[in-house]
Each structure stands twice: as structure tokens, then as C-alpha cells.
């Protein structure tokens, strides 16, 4: 097996290649380094089958979309990933086969809701869940310290002690560790209870990453910033969030509520379907289309997408454009269908 970290920086991208079959996977590619990745694939004589993001990144633009276009590789993300551009949505325990290399997906949320780790031969790629001597922060992008403690203690720390750990980031020059070493020495985790861990994570006091709102929202929406005026984090935090039950109550046959679904065309009638009566306006066309809704400025509007992330951006955009009563379906169509509420699909 060819296994290589490709960035040689604090932000890690991994190449896994099967020498026997010439098939490959790249994990967490960074957009500014696409040429380097293509050069490494050519150098090793590998064809790229898959590109995978361990989670929605806030610190760098993902190159998954770009690499997929250039190589035909399929984009792999967790089922709860908010992006429109995924070819394969994986769940906990799903296999991923790259030539003769057998990998297994571990769902390890906490840093973000869509976090996965990838278990392979003698090693686990932990994304930004378990780091060397640390853990990924949980103070934005819907992070959850308790969930992260559970992901690490109940999944990653049940792997054999000798399992090699390759993290998504390292800020101190480390390149790898082992599960046993982190169990015994990780200062945030060794000997800590769940409550102690949550207290530690709640008091890190870290500054937000530079350009977080642009990077995070571009990665979550797959819409380049030149096409859209992204709201600030402050504006996003002010969006009224509605749970699926409340949205169901608001969207009966005689309801005057306007439901705007901001996903891509293929998603609207795809696996998750859409809410009956919803109007499809993909996020990148939303601002231009609002002229068609001049009479609805004071009407109740509920925005909808796959995971509730893109639609939060949409709700903030509409609010900034002086629509007065805008709400967001929290958890999006994933949550709606999880509740068993009915959907429509056409075409
Ligand atoms: Fe991250």
C-alpha cells in the first residue's frame, strides 16, 4: 500500500494507493494543492477512484469537487454532510474498497456533525476528531464536545492500542501517534470524564479561523463566493430555527407559508425528495430570484435544504434583503425524512 501525507503542513491530506491495482483515494484534499496531488498520482501511476472529506472544513477550501471534475473520482461524504456535491453518502460501518485495500467508515461527530474517521490497514485517519495530543475544536460549525468525547472514547479508543493515528491537523510538528499513546497521554482525554472534557472544550478561548465564514459556507454550499454574498456568522446565528414538527404544522394544505428549497435541481427530486408545495430556488440563484417575490416580503418563509446549513445561509440572505419573517428548517430534509414526514418526488 502506498500511504503518504501530501501537504507537509499543519493541514493534512492523505493519499492511499493500491500498488497492485493502481487505484487510489485522497482524503481531505486542499484546493490550493490540486496540481501537487495530480503530480503525485501520476508519479505513482495511480488512478483516483475516490476523494473524501472527513468533515466540512472551516479552515481551507476542499478540493474534492475540483479533483472529481479533473479525474472522475467519486466524492465520498458522510450522509449528514450538507454539500450538494457528493456521489456516495456513507454511514458508520460502511466499507470503502480501493483496489485491494479495505477501509471502514467510522462515524465520529463532535468537531462537526458530519465527521468521519477512516479505518484502514494498521491505521486510522481521524480527521479533526482525535489529534496528536489534542482534539478538534467544538466551538463552531455545530460542534458538540460531548458527542466528540463519545466518538473518541466509544469508537476510536476501542481500536487496538497499536493502531496508528493519522490526524487531519497537527500544529506541533507531529505526523502520527497510536491509539494506546493517545489513551494514556492525550491531556484532554487521559483520565478525564465526559463532563471534564466538555468543560475543557468550553474554555479553550481560541480565535475563529481566518475567513471562516467564506470558507465554511463555500465548503458547505459548493457555491463560489463570487456568485453569492455570504452572510456573517452573526447574521447566521440570528436565523430563526424551526424543528421539523413545527414546520409540518406550518405547511398544511391551506397554509399561507412559503417554503423555499435551496438545494440543486437533482437533489429536489432525489433520494430525500422535497416538502409538498416547496418552491425550488437553488442557493446560487436566490438573491437574483427575490424580485419575483416582492409581494411576499412579509409572508412567513421557511427555507429548506439537505442538512439545514445551506438554508441557514439562504434565510440570512433573505432577511438581509428585507424579508421580515424568515425561518429555517433545522436539520433540513435529513431530519424531515428521519421523522418519517411525507415527501414528494417528481420526474
Ligand atoms: Fe476541521
* All three cell numbers of 343: 415527501
When the pLDDT of each residue in the chain is averaged and rounded to a whole number, the result is 95
CA of 55 to the centre of ligand 1 (A): 7
Whole-prediction pTM? 0.94
Spatial CB neighbours of 173, under 8 Å, sequence gap ≥ 6: none
CA of 41 to the centre of ligand 1 (A): 25
pLDDT tops 80 at residue 74: yes
Q: What order do you get walking across the sheet with 279-280 strand by strand?
A: 240-242, 326-329, 301-304, 258-261, 279-280
CA of 210 to the centre of ligand 1 (A): 13
CB 26 within 8 A of CB 52: yes
Give the pLDDT confidence score for residue 151 in this predicted structure: 98
Cα–Cα distance for residue pair 308/279, rounded to 1 Å: 16
CA of 262 to the centre of ligand 1 (A): 25
CA of 137 to the centre of ligand 1 (A): 8
212 burial (CB, 10 Å; 0-12 / 13-18 / 19+) is: middle
CA of 236 to the centre of ligand 1 (A): 19
Work out the percent of the chain whose per-residue pLDDT is above 70: 99
CA of 128 to the centre of ligand 1 (A): 5
SS3 category, 105? strand
pLDDT tops 80 at residue 211: no
CA of 112 to the centre of ligand 1 (A): 8
Cα–Cα distance for residue pair 107/124, rounded to 1 Å: 12
pLDDT bracket for residue 347 (50, 70, 90): low
CA of 216 to the centre of ligand 1 (A): 10
CA of 31 to the centre of ligand 1 (A): 15
CA of 230 to the centre of ligand 1 (A): 20
Count how many Cα atoms sit within 13 Å of the Cα of residue 122 in the half-sphere of its side chain: 5
Q: What order do you get walking across the sheet with 116-120 strand by strand?
A: 95-98, 101-107, 116-120, 123-127, 164-167, 177-178
CA of 259 to the centre of ligand 1 (A): 32
CB 315 within 8 A of CB 327: yes
Give the pLDDT confidence score for residue 227 in this predicted structure: 72
CA of 3 to the centre of ligand 1 (A): 21
Beta carbons within 10 angstroms of residue 61's beta carbon: 20
CA of 28 to the centre of ligand 1 (A): 10
Cα–Cα distance for residue pair 241/245, rounded to 1 Å: 12
CA of 154 to the centre of ligand 1 (A): 20
* All three cell numbers of 132: 496528536
Residue-range domains of the chain with CATH = 2-202 (3.60.15.10), 223-338 (3.40.250.10)
Amino acid at each position: 500500500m502506498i500511504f503518504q501525507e501530501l501537504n507537509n503542513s499543519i493541514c493534512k491530506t492523505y493519499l492511499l494507493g493500491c500498488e497492485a491495482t493502481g487505484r487510489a483515494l485522497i482524503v481531505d484534499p486542499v484546493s490550493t494543492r490540486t496540481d501537487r496531488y495530480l503530480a503525485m498520482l501520476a508519479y505513482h501511476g495511480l488512478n483516483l477512484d475516490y476523494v473524501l472529506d472527513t468533515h466540512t472544513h472551516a479552515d481551507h477550501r476542499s478540493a474534492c469537487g475540483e479533483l472529481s471534475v479533473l479525474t472522475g473520482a467519486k466524492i465520498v461524504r458522510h450522509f449528514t454532510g450538507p454539500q450538494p456535491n457528493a456521489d456516495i453518502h456513507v454511514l458508520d460501518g460502511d466499507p470503502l474498497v480501493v483496489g485491494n485495500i479495505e477501509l471502514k467508515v467510522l462515524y465520529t461527530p463532535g468537531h462537526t456533525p458530519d465527521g468521519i474517521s477512516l479505518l484502514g490497514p494498521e491505521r486510522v485517519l481521524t480527521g479533526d476528531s482525535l489529534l496528536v495530543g489534542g482534539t478538534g475544536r467544538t466551538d463552531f460549525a455545530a460542534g458538540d464536545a460531548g458527542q466528540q468525547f463519545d466518538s473518541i472514547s466509544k469508537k476510536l479508543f476501542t481500536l487496538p492500542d497499536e493502531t496508528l493515528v493519522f490526524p487531519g491537523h497537527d500544529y506541533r510538528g507531529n505526523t502520527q501517534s497510536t491509539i494506546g499513546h493517545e489513551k494514556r497521554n492525550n491531556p484532554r482525554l487521559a483520565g478525564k470524564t465526559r463532563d471534564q472534557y466538555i468543560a475543557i472544550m468550553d474554555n479553550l478561548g481560541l480565535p475563529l479561523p481566518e475567513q471562516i465564514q467564506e470558507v465554511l459556507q463555500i465548503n458547505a454550499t459548493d457555491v463560489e463566493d463570487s456568485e453569492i454574498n455570504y452572510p456573517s456568522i452573526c447574521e447566521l446565528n440570528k436565523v430563526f430555527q424551526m424543528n421539523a414538527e413545527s414546520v409540518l404544522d406550518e405547511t398544511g394544505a391551506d397554509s399561507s407559508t412559503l417554503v423555499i428549497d435551496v438545494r440543486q435541481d437533482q437533489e429536489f427530486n432525489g433520494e430525500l425528495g422535497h416538502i409538498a408545495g416547496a418552491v425550488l430556488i437553488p442557493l446560487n440563484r436566490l438573491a437574483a430570484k427575490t424580485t419575483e417575490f416582492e409581494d411576499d416580503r412579509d409572508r412567513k418563509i421557511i427555507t429548506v435544504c439537505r442538512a439545514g446549513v445551506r438554508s441557514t445561509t439562504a434565510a440570512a440572505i433573505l432577511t438581509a434583503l428585507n424579508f421580515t419573517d424568515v425561518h429555517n428548517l433545522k436539520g433540513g430534509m435529513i431530519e424531515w425524512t428521519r421523522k418519517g414526514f411525507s415527501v414528494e418526488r417528481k420526474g
